[in-house]
Chain A
Amino acid sequence: MRLYRSHVLVGMDTFTLLAGARKVKEHLIRQIEKRGLSDEIKVLETGSLGITNRGVVLLIYPEGCYYVNVKPEDVPEIVEEHLLKGRTVQRLLFKGELERKAVALPESPLDVRRQSRVVLQNCGVIDPENIDEYIGRGGYEALERALFQMKPQEVIEQVKRSGLVGRGGAGFPTGLKWEISAKVASEEKYIICNADEGEPGTFKDRVIMEGDPHRVIEGMLLAGYAVGANKGFIYIRGEYALSIQRMEKAIKQAYEYNLLGSNILETNFSFDLEMRKGAGAYVCGEETALIESLEGKRGEPRNKPPYPGTCGLWGKPTVVNNVETLANIPSIIVKGADWFRSLGTKETPGTKLYTILGHVVNQGVIEVETGITLRKIIFDYGGGMKNGREFKAALVGGAAGCFLGKDMLDVKMDYTTLKSYKAVLGSGAVLVMDTSTCIVDMLRCILDFFKRESCGKCVPCRMGTDRLYRLIVDISSGKGTKDHPKLMLELAQMMNKASFCPLGQSVLLPLSSAFKYFEDEVMEHILDKRCPAGVCKMGEK
């Protein structure tokens, strides 16, 4: 194996590709060749480097320094200065761009070394399109161990003991879910990876799939082995072009290595994997609507019970797991349940991926141990509030999430703790808002989203989302009356009780939390016909 003096990692994710990462990489290779450094310096593609909205991002080892906003015309300078002469290019270096010096941070606020990376351990490190690099980092070791040293029931036990709960939002214990399907006698069972990441403000699963697709495949294989399923589907968000491309490539490579297909590693275990693209319906992230869609039907939820675990895809026992959940499995099998339990909180051990976005300095996906506070997410990893404005609220858990005000900054962001505050962690999206945000306008956006995404099957959700949207538009355009908030809450409460699926049921949460924290602001819209943040255009509709 050839040894290189330096490695240049080009982060290839959806953001950087749009910013021209491919072109930068071509220039890099050309410039390195021109300087005759091809034998010394290796240019590699990798997944997200953890820095979002900073154009093309490069990570150069062994120094471990990040360059951001790299343009093709910057490449000669980087090659000349850094790679040839060993001098960093200060103007492109990622410094975190902190404006409030109060929080002391190292050079890279989203620095992966400060995170506890389990799911993202290979992300930004390996070439996601090369199976050998995954294997080189211990990939498929868990599969091998399970197939040769463990009975399916032992795999389930280990996952159960680890205390892993579903990372898609509902937080159901994964091992228990598997056990239910494993116990059903059926010749056909299915594993579905829910990669239809549709929660607004969430793109953690995309980062996993773009950065380490084989981890997801391995997780599915382990689930299949554990419950006795021989067929898996990845139901992937149709807009995730790069994820689709990388997952497809990964599946192909896994088949070539007989890590998928018949008699995997010459055992009796066989597992086939297919990918299906979603068509952009939020409700298809709900597991039974997802299954309907997979069967080729309208994406509408099914009644539960029966749950997919006993009667899912084509009426067979089906395990539906989120991408992040599955990506946790290989490490749990290799390192053990006790190791996993040593991470995070007692109630929900392990790590969690949070998508930080909104009015913070650093937006992006971080992986940290559970139990982190909102304050730490925003002011530590997020680099604090942008433009020095004051923190107003955070919407945690996406559109179906909950507004958290200042008083919640020191609450631990895990499933159990949030539940005790009648809030949810959901997908782990943290949308941070400063004082320039109007809550009524935020609600308008959220309710518009629900109105568009309701499948229309049940009356409370179909009509309720539509009516709520019309009522909030009234308020935001100065036509609201004192009865509006009351009627809206009455509707949302009815929807919470009567809707068929979680989509309609969850509208209450953002609505009631917004009304609770920001009642004055809402009433100001209604009584004074005035938007304190100056966002709503009163008198227009």
Chain B
Amino acid sequence: MVSLTIDGKPIKTKKGSTILEAALDNGIEIPHLCYHKGLSVAGACRLCLVKIKGRPGMVASCLTEVAEGMEVIAFDEEIDETRRLIVELILSEHKHDCLVCEKNGQCELQDLAYRLGIDRVRFSVEKPNEELDNSSEVILRDPNRCILCGRCVRSCAEIAVQDVLKFANRGSEMFIIAGLNQLLAETDCVFCGACVQACPTGSLTEKLARFQGRSWEFRKVRTTCPYCGVGCQIELNIKDDRIVKVYGVEEGPENKGHLCVKGRFGFDFVHHEDRLTTPLIKRNGEFEEASWDEALDLVATKFSQLKQKYGSDALAGLSSAKCTNEENYLFQKFVRVCFGTNNVDHCARLCHSSTVAGLSRAFGSGAMTNSIREFEKADVILITGSNTTENHPVIGSLLKHVARYKGVKLIVVDPREIELTGYATIWLRQRSGTDVAWINGLMNVIVNEALYDEEFIKSRTENFEEFKKVILKYTPDRVEKITGIPKRKLIEAARMYARAKKASIVFAMGITQHITGTDNVLSLANLAMLCGNVGKEGTGVNPLRGQNNVQGACDLGALPDVYPGYQKVSDPKIREKFERAWRAKLSPKEGLTVVEMMNAASEGRIKVFT
């Protein structure tokens, strides 16, 4: 910790932080526009200038590290004058029209002008109004409100790692271009909206939210993004019970404010007119609107009749990995108690059940062994079976970020040339379906070159000798024949993975949805354990899951063979415990999986699906 004073106020802050960070953390609002947490520092707006006792002139506090005993002057007459003149200049660059600006009320420039009391601008605005870039379906670019702080440029390069927005020209002619000065829709933009989130003014805004509400009218609700398994934290801006726009929550532990196009802009389905708003009952071949009481009575009666007629096991229920923990718990309880069967399952069966099977056997749990942000701490990341930038874009951006800015080396094993191969140090291109072979090949090299973690193997694993016997058969030559991966590259990848202090493995359904899916996962787990890459920060075996509550749906027991907490339904002691708690007789028989339910339904054994 470092001690310093800002305007006489004693402050303690961690070593290496800047004066501005220290001030903001301690509630001292030094004015700034180009600084944005999570982005690199530009030092361009010059508003955060401060004086340091004993040093001549002023320094940009965003660029100056704190030092022990430093005495900072953040506010005095001269500094205020300087800041005022700078804001005056910014205001004179464009016609800043707050009347119809979407950012009105949460615009950093507006706030600053007000705070510094800029009641006149002595310079005339000379720049003509430019046309808006309306080409994107979701992002509106208004060059007339741009203050050239570069936050969008940096967020595009550093968070999204897309490099679409850049500065063009210089001096007073400088402006921001998309692509090669194209319309946004014509560029490589993925419309993640990182730039929108970073923009301090109304230059980049959500197109769909235009004229839909003012900033002070919104009710804000924090929730989890309903899409993939990254678990991005979002903040809904709601007016009159309608979602108007979505922000990424900067404190979100996984996404830190970043979202993908779906999470940020893909909420129109919520209010879509095709959605049901009341129950429908089919009468005489036509759906008719009904009340909830009517519908529930009807369903309850039919369920009871069919249960009596065909028995409990003719009923089945499918839960969802997109539902909350509470909903999943209630649903499986409903099927088990009311239907009297264990025929309950959910969508995870179809994507990552091989992951759960494999990782449960290897580690006892089917979850990621490490958290997402630990990718920043890794030295090497092996990615296979995951087109991350397409399917988990926020993690995809993070992987690109760590490869470009943190010196993390990526090994991508994928038959296709995906975006991440462009960021990879090594790209292995296996024949589809030969995953066990190349993973064994890597381990063969690691064992032969004695690059494995002996201590870890001794203390944490079993049957190493037996494992070795199998592995030794997978020589690089043989693996090259099976997989098509040149042995030179295989050896190179094995060395890179094994020699890394911290190596992480990332995978998704590209390797799980094979006949050998579970073996693929087990092999990856073996690879990690062989090099001691388990139980440490920045390492592990990390499946990227498809939906936002896969973990919860499984944990809460929406599975045919286990109660909440993975407790076996076949165990009489456990069953008795649940019977006591739920005050009902429970079926001792394991239920059907999704696929089995479908087959059973087509054979007429399942009569009720919910």
Interface residues of B in 502-540 (CB under 8 A from A): none
Closest to A457 in B: B44
- Among the 9-residue stretches B171-179, B292-300, B428-436, B564-572, the one with 4 or more Cβ atoms under 8 Å from chain A is B171-179
Query: Smallest CB–CB gap between A302 and chain B, Å?
Result: 9
Answer whether A303 and B58 are a contact pair too, CB < 8 Å, given A456-B174, A467-B89, A498-B82.
Answer: no
Say yes or no: is A510 at the interface (Cβ < 8 Å to chain B).
Answer: no
What chain B residues lie within 8 Å of A494 (beta carbons)?
A: 81-82, 85-86
Taken together as a complex, chains A and B put the C-alpha atoms of A26 and B44 apart, in Å, by 55
Give B431-447 as 1s and 0s: 1 = Cβ < 8 Å from A's Cβ atoms. Answer: 00000000000000000
What chain A residues lie within 8 Å of B85 (beta carbons)?
A: 490-491, 494
Query: Smallest CB–CB gap between A216 and chain B, Å?
Result: 29
Taken together as a complex, chains A and B put the C-alpha atoms of A463 and B44 apart, in Å, by 12
Q: Would A456 and B148 count as touching, CB distance under 8 A?
A: yes
Decide if the interface of chain A is mainly helix, strand, loop or mixed. helix
Answer whether A281 and B170 are a contact pair too, CB < 8 Å, given A498-B82, A500-B46.
Answer: yes
Say yes or no: is A453 at the interface (Cβ < 8 Å to chain B).
Answer: yes
Answer whether A458 and B89 are a contact pair too, CB < 8 Å, given A453-B171, A470-B126.
Answer: no
Say yes or no: is A514 at the interface (Cβ < 8 Å to chain B).
Answer: no
Query: Smallest CB–CB gap between A441 and chain B, Å?
Result: 21
Our pick among A452, A463, A465, A497 for the contact of B90 (Cβ within 8 Å) is: A463
Taken together as a complex, chains A and B put the C-alpha atoms of A198 and B312 apart, in Å, by 88
Say yes or no: is B334 at the interface (Cβ < 8 Å to chain A).
Answer: no
Give A450-481 as 1s and 0s: 1 = Cβ < 8 Å from B's Cβ atoms. Answer: 01111111111011111100100000000000
Say yes or no: is B372 at the interface (Cβ < 8 Å to chain A).
Answer: no
Query: Smallest CB–CB gap between A490 and chain B, Å?
Result: 7
Say yes or no: is B43 at the interface (Cβ < 8 Å to chain A).
Answer: yes
Q: Would A459 and B174 count as touching, CB distance under 8 A?
A: no
Answer whether A465 and B172 are a contact pair too, CB < 8 Å, given A303-B63, A498-B82.
Answer: yes
Answer whether A458 and B43 are a contact pair too, CB < 8 Å, given A494-B85, A497-B82.
Answer: yes
Q: Would B171 and A462 count as touching, CB distance under 8 A?
A: yes
Taken together as a complex, chains A and B put the C-alpha atoms of A303 and B64 apart, in Å, by 9
Q: Would B42 and A457 count as touching, CB distance under 8 A?
A: yes
Taken together as a complex, chains A and B put the C-alpha atoms of A262 and B564 apart, in Å, by 70
Give A155-177 as 1s and 0s: 1 = Cβ < 8 Å from B's Cβ atoms. Answer: 00000000000000000000000
Query: Smallest CB–CB gap between B452 and chain A, Å?
Result: 30
Interface residues of B in 146-175 (CB under 8 A from A): 147-148, 150, 167, 169-174
Give A56-68 as 1s and 0s: 1 = Cβ < 8 Å from B's Cβ atoms. Answer: 0000000000000
Interface residues of A in 495-537 (CB under 8 A from B): 497-500
Taken together as a complex, chains A and B put the C-alpha atoms of A144 and B148 apart, in Å, by 52
Give A6-25 as 1s and 0s: 1 = Cβ < 8 Å from B's Cβ atoms. Answer: 00000000000000000000
Our pick among B42, B60, B82, B170 for the contact of A454 (Cβ within 8 Å) is: B170
Say yes or no: is B128 at the interface (Cβ < 8 Å to chain A).
Answer: no
Our pick among A455, A463, A464 for the contact of B170 (Cβ within 8 Å) is: A455
What chain B residues lie within 8 Å of A451 (beta carbons)?
A: 171-172
Q: Would A458 and B82 count as touching, CB distance under 8 A?
A: no
Taken together as a complex, chains A and B put the C-alpha atoms of A457 and B85 apart, in Å, by 17
Answer whether A459 and B89 are a contact pair too, CB < 8 Å, given A466-B172, A497-B57.
Answer: yes
What chain B residues lie within 8 Å of A454 (beta carbons)?
A: 170-172
Say yes or no: is A104 at the interface (Cβ < 8 Å to chain B).
Answer: no
Say yes or no: is B45 at the interface (Cβ < 8 Å to chain A).
Answer: yes
What chain B residues lie within 8 Å of A281 (beta carbons)?
A: 170
Taken together as a complex, chains A and B put the C-alpha atoms of A452 and B169 apart, in Å, by 10
Q: Would A460 and B43 count as touching, CB distance under 8 A?
A: no
Say yes or no: is A298 at the interface (Cβ < 8 Å to chain B).
Answer: yes
What chain A residues lie within 8 Å of B43 (beta carbons)?
A: 303, 458, 500
Our pick among A462, A465, A487 for the contact of B148 (Cβ within 8 Å) is: A462
Q: Would A456 and B169 count as touching, CB distance under 8 A?
A: yes
What chain A residues lie within 8 Å of B86 (beta carbons)?
A: 459-460, 494, 498
Answer whether A462 and B172 are a contact pair too, CB < 8 Å, given A303-B60, A467-B123.
Answer: yes
Say yes or no: is B37 at the interface (Cβ < 8 Å to chain A).
Answer: no
Query: Smallest CB–CB gap between B91 and chain A, Å?
Result: 10
Closest to B86 in A: A459
Answer whether A462 and B63 are a contact pair too, CB < 8 Å, given A456-B167, A470-B126.
Answer: no
Taken together as a complex, chains A and B put the C-alpha atoms of A467 and B60 apart, in Å, by 23
Taken together as a complex, chains A and B put the C-alpha atoms of A487 and B120 apart, in Å, by 14
Taken together as a complex, chains A and B put the C-alpha atoms of A498 and B51 apart, in Å, by 11
What chain B residues lie within 8 Å of A460 (beta carbons)?
A: 46, 86, 89
Say yes or no: is B243 at the interface (Cβ < 8 Å to chain A).
Answer: no
Closest to B42 in A: A457
Give B233-259 as 1s and 0s: 1 = Cβ < 8 Å from A's Cβ atoms. Answer: 000000000000000000000000000
Give B57-85 as 1s and 0s: 1 = Cβ < 8 Å from A's Cβ atoms. Answer: 11010010000000000000000011001
Interface residues of A in 434-460 (CB under 8 A from B): 451-460
Give B34-50 as 1s and 0s: 1 = Cβ < 8 Å from A's Cβ atoms. Answer: 00000001111111010
Answer whether A498 and B46 are a contact pair too, CB < 8 Å, given A459-B89, A467-B92.
Answer: yes
Query: Smallest CB–CB gap between A420 and chain B, Å?
Result: 17
Query: Smallest CB–CB gap between B86 and chain A, Å?
Result: 5
Query: Smallest CB–CB gap between A365 and chain B, Å?
Result: 30
Q: Would B170 and A497 count as touching, CB distance under 8 A?
A: no
Say yes or no: is B122 at the interface (Cβ < 8 Å to chain A).
Answer: yes
Taken together as a complex, chains A and B put the C-alpha atoms of A466 and B63 apart, in Å, by 26
Taken together as a complex, chains A and B put the C-alpha atoms of A253 and B546 apart, in Å, by 63
Q: Would B46 and A462 count as touching, CB distance under 8 A?
A: no
Answer whether A466 and B46 are a contact pair too, CB < 8 Å, given A456-B148, A497-B82.
Answer: no
What chain A residues lie within 8 Å of B60 (beta carbons)?
A: 303, 500
Q: Would A458 and B46 count as touching, CB distance under 8 A?
A: yes
What chain B residues lie within 8 Å of A491 (beta carbons)?
A: 85
Taken together as a complex, chains A and B put the C-alpha atoms of A454 and B169 apart, in Å, by 10
Q: Would B171 and A456 count as touching, CB distance under 8 A?
A: yes
Taken together as a complex, chains A and B put the C-alpha atoms of A452 and B49 apart, in Å, by 25
What chain A residues lie within 8 Å of B81 (beta carbons)?
A: 494
Give B13-30 as 1s and 0s: 1 = Cβ < 8 Å from A's Cβ atoms. Answer: 000000000000000000
What chain A residues lie within 8 Å of B42 (beta carbons)?
A: 457
Say yes or no: is B93 at the interface (Cβ < 8 Å to chain A).
Answer: yes
Closest to A461 in B: B171
What chain A residues lie within 8 Å of B44 (beta carbons)?
A: 457-459, 500
Query: Smallest CB–CB gap between B525 and chain A, Å?
Result: 38
Residue among B58, B85, B90, B167 having the largest count of chain A Cβ atoms under 10 Å? B85
Closest to B43 in A: A303
Taken together as a complex, chains A and B put the C-alpha atoms of A454 and B167 apart, in Å, by 14
Residue among B45, B167, B170 having the largest count of chain A Cβ atoms under 10 Å? B170
Q: Would A466 and B171 count as touching, CB distance under 8 A?
A: yes
Taken together as a complex, chains A and B put the C-alpha atoms of A220 and B29 apart, in Å, by 48
Taken together as a complex, chains A and B put the C-alpha atoms of A487 and B148 apart, in Å, by 24
Q: Would B171 and A455 count as touching, CB distance under 8 A?
A: yes
Q: Would A499 and B46 count as touching, CB distance under 8 A?
A: yes
Query: Smallest CB–CB gap between A308 and chain B, Å?
Result: 16
Closest to A504 in B: B46
Taken together as a complex, chains A and B put the C-alpha atoms of A451 and B171 apart, in Å, by 6
What chain B residues lie within 8 Å of A303 (beta carbons)?
A: 41, 43, 60, 63
Taken together as a complex, chains A and B put the C-alpha atoms of A115 and B147 apart, in Å, by 52
What are 29 A-B pairs with beta-carbon distances under 8 A? A451-B171, A454-B172, A455-B171, A455-B174, A456-B172, A456-B174, A458-B44, A458-B46, A459-B44, A459-B45, A459-B46, A459-B89, A459-B147, A460-B46, A460-B86, A462-B148, A462-B174, A463-B93, A467-B92, A470-B123, A470-B126, A490-B85, A494-B86, A497-B49, A497-B82, A498-B82, A500-B43, A500-B46, A500-B60
A interface with B by C-beta (< 8 Å): 281, 283, 298, 303, 451-460, 462-467, 470, 487, 490-491, 494, 497-500
B interface with A by C-beta (< 8 Å): 41-47, 49, 57-58, 60, 63, 81-82, 85-86, 89-90, 92-93, 122-123, 126, 147-148, 150, 167, 169-174
The 10 closest A-B pairs by CB, nearest first: A456-B174, A466-B172, A463-B89, A454-B171, A498-B46, A303-B63, A456-B170, A494-B85, A456-B171, A458-B44
7 A-B pairs besides A298-B167, A456-B170, A459-B86 with CB distance below 8 A are: A455-B170, A456-B171, A458-B43, A459-B46, A470-B123, A497-B58, A499-B46
